[in-house]
Amino acid sequence: MPETTHPLYDGKYAVHTSSVNAVSWTEIAGGLLVLVFLLAGLAFIASAFMLATIGVGQLELRAVILLKNWYVSGPLAIAFVALVLVRRHLLWRQFKAAGASNRANQ
């Protein structure tokens, strides 16, 4: 007989206690996305430094400056997305605290 006092037990599905603290796939995907942004930013900085030291034409230098400007604005975009996700998570927690279930229609 499963433990009925467990907070994730809803009478229909018993949740194993080892899965309560499992890392969700969204946390893993978010971490990998941040790593990709950081590596892309480092690549842009390195390419700008290399192109500036070997000498390039005006058009190539403008392209590098544009990419660096996107890299500078990248953390602002990441912060905005993180803010939206945190707000969504807090609303979801408030919704769950009110007694709503994601299996209510089953």
Q: Which letter, b or e, does each residue of 68-95 get, where b requires 16 or more Cβ atoms within 10 Å of its Cβ?
A: eeebeeeeeeeeeeeeeeeeeeeeeeee
Nearest to 105 by CA among 12, 26, 7: 12
Give yes or no for residue 56 having a pLDDT over 70: no
**pLDDT tens digits along 86-105:** 998 888 888 888 776 555 54
What per-residue confidence (pLDDT) applies to 72? 65
Domain boundaries, the chain: 24-97
